[in-house]
């Protein structure tokens, strides 16, 4: 694993957790020296890197600067840059440590735990970035369909296109409220609020998983709204589509994130209690949310061996229920109630544009221009 510490404010850095890391760390008279190969290193233009390496005590975390304390260039060899699907402005490389000087961070056998303290912070970035990209894609789609005409009227007036755009808008609103709630938990944790600290353990992982699972399909749907124009490089949709998967991969892929959600629920019961405190005020407002919360309660009573195979469903449902509860509390009724019906009810579908009958499209779309 190699995570960069950039000169400028950090880009969203991809990470690769490898408990079988073969890079070795040896203590010397002038500090630790690292020897080994790293297949993936994010932001190799940075001034320092956080790296996992094997010590006699176990897997440790080390800070590897570009320059040694005496001002010499550190023994880090950049072998090649990676040709990635997207995220091309943020370079990634394959590197070799050839006795590189390093400084240990944390206990020598707790490298992954040490890195996870950082990852917990950057997971909030990886949870909010896809929402920002979805919002940009939605804006591009909405601007396109208003002046574009077919069959005697604009696309924005066509009932089916309005359903698609309204559904995309619901997804953005849900992503925004969940991202902001996770950010508020971090602020509260910094002030010493125990309940917010508990939520800060859970919400970034939950939001990161679900927002990134929704992102690629969202970009594809927005691209389809533009037709062929969306598929060419002159529009930003192609770039957004290529960029969409990356936040799901770094800072823990989907399975890693969902297993971490299970770990938090098992080791920190106060996190689940804090989450129920967020969900309970919304009960009794929408039948679909009440039914989903009841299903969650039953699922959470299952033994661990039954929960693990369903970790993705659990994480998805927790995220969707919290999104619905937050929208019912902080958004107009048309948004909150329609979201709960569209995502938690019997008419919920995997594709965008599948809204329940009678959905208030005018009220939802009006918020795009307000």
Q: Show the domains of the chain with their CATH numbers.
A: 2-109 (2.40.110.20), 114-366 (1.20.140.10)
User: Which residue reads 């509390």 in tokens?
Assistant: 329
The mean pLDDT of 186-198, rounded to a whole number, is 96
Those residues whose C-beta lies under 8 Å from the C-beta of residue 277, and which sit 6 or more positions away, are 195
| Distance separating alpha carbons of residues 329 and 280, to the nearest angstrom | 11
Cα 119 off chain centre by: 11
* Three-class DSSP category at 94: strand
CB atoms within 10 A of CB 279: 18
Judge contact between 232 and 238, C-beta under 8 A. yes
Cβ-contact 23, 36 below 8 angstroms: yes
pLDDT of residue 347: 83
6 pLDDT exceeds 60? no
How many whole angstroms separate alpha carbon 289 and alpha carbon 295? 10
Dist. CA 118–CA 48, nearest whole Å: 15
Q: How far apart are CA 247 and CA 263, in angstroms?
A: 21
Task: Look at residue 116 and tell me whether its pLDDT is greater than 50.
Answer: yes
How much is the pTM? 0.88
**Token digits of residue 38:** 């790293």
Q: Is 94 exposed, middle or buried (0-12, 13-18, 19+ CB in 10 A)?
A: middle
Residue 359 in this model has a pLDDT that exceeds 50: yes
Q: From residue 56, give the alpha-carbon distance in Å to each of 19, 64, 105, 109, 340.
A: 14, 19, 15, 8, 53
Mean residue pLDDT of the chain comes to 91
Confidence of residue 15 (pLDDT cuts 50, 70, 90): very low
The two structure tokens encoding residue 58: 């176990």
Give pLDDT, residue 2: 58
Predicted confidence at residue 127, as pLDDT, reads 96
- Give the mean pLDDT of 225-253: 92
């Amino acid at each position: 694993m190699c995570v960069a510490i950039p000169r400028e404010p950090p880009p969203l850095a991809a990470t690769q957790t490898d408990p079988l890391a073969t890079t070795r760390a040896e203590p010397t008279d002038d500090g630790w020296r690292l020897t080994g190969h790293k297949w993936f290193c994010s932001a190799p233009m940075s001034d320092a890197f956080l790296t996992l390496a094997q010590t006699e005590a176990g897997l440790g975390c080390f800070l590897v600067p570009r320059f040694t304390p005496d001002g010499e260039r550190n023994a880090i060899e950049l072998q090649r840059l990676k040709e990635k699907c997207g995220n091309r402005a943020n370079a990634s490389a394959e590197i070799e440590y050839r006795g590189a000087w390093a400084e240990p961070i944390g206990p020598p056998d707790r490298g992954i735990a040490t890195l996870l303290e950082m990852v917990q912070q950057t997971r909030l970035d990886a949870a909010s970035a896809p929402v920002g990209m979805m919002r940009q894609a939605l804006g591009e789609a909405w601007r396109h369909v208003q002046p574009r005409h077919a069959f005697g009227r604009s696309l924005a007036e066509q009932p089916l296109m309005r359903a698609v755009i309204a559904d995309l808008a619901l997804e953005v609103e849900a992503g925004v409220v969940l991202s902001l709630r996770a950010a508020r938990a971090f602020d509260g944790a910094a002030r010493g609020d125990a309940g917010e600290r508990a939520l800060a353990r859970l919400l970034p992982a939950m939001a990161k998983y679900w927002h990134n699972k929704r992102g690629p399909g969202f970009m594809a749907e927005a691209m389809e709204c533009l037709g062929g124009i969306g598929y060419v490089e002159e529009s930003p949709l192609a770039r957004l589509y290529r960029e969409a998967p990356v936040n799901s991969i770094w800072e823990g892929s989907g399975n890693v994130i969902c297993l971490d959600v299970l770990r938090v629920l098992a080791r920190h019961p106060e996190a689940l209690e804090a989450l129920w405190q967020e969900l309970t005020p919304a009960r009794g407002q929408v039948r679909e949310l009440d039914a989903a919360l009841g299903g969650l309660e039953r699922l959470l009573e299952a033994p661990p061996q039954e929960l693990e195979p369903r970790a993705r469903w659990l994480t998805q449902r927790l995220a969707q229920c919290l999104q619905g509860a937050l929208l019912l509390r902080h958004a107009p009724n048309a948004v909150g109630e329609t979201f709960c019906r569209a995502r938690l009810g019997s008419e919920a579908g995997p594709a965008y544009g599948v809204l329940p009958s009678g959905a208030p499209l005018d009220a939802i779309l009006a918020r795009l221009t307000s």
